[in-house]
Amino acid sequence: MKLTDILTADCVRVPLKATDKTAAITELVDALADAGRVTCRDTVLQAVLNREETASTGIGKGLAVPHGKCNGCSELVMALGKPATPLDFESKDGQPVEIVVLLASPPDKTGPHIQALARISRLMLMDSFRQAVAAAETAEELWDIVRAHEG
């Protein structure tokens, strides 16, 4: 699986206007809704926020992967954002988040969901990817970085 199979350029936001994690999640769910990628924005938003309440999805190294499973989407979808200033996501390593990757999928699509999480994790282990993301100033630049590293 390539992330570009589930992420479209119109679901990349740089910079995110959000100044906290709930606003960042909302902004990315809105990006999915605006792009017509979800069938029910409110259902997706609630699923992701509910998941976030169980444990923070700030996994470290400046990355957060808020995600949820619900019937508000018919397939696995992804939105990507880079906040104007790093956000407190209550990450496991205590560091602020510099990139937010939001995933939403129907309850019966566990396999692709897990594959996407693994792919995101592998990319974030690459110093060249993290450095390129840190330098990205526009949504187009961030989209191109993802595409280049997926090659």
Residue located via tokens 């693994």? 118
User: CA 139, CA 127: separation in Å to the nearest integer?
Assistant: 20
Report the chain's terminal Cα–Cα distance, integer Å. Answer: 11
Query: What pLDDT score does 151 carry?
Result: 64
Query: What pLDDT score does 64 carry?
Result: 96
Give 62-87 as a DSSP string: TEE--EEE-TT-SS-EEEEEEESS-B
What's the domain count of the chain? 1
The identity of residue 8, as a single letter, is T
Q: At what angle do helices 41-54 and 21-34 cross, to 10 degrees?
A: 150
Mean pLDDT of the residues in the chain:
94
Say if CB 74 and CB 40 are below 8 A apart.
no
- Give 83's strand partners: 16
CATH code (residue 103):
3.40.930.10
Give every residue of the chain whose pLDDT is below 50, as ranges: none
Please, what is the Cα angle at 60 between 101 and 121, to 5 degrees? 55
Print the domain residue range for 61.
3-150
How many of the other CB atoms lie within 10 Å of CB of 88?
Answer: 14
Query: What pLDDT score does 72 carry?
Result: 96
Q: The whole model's pTM is what?
A: 0.95
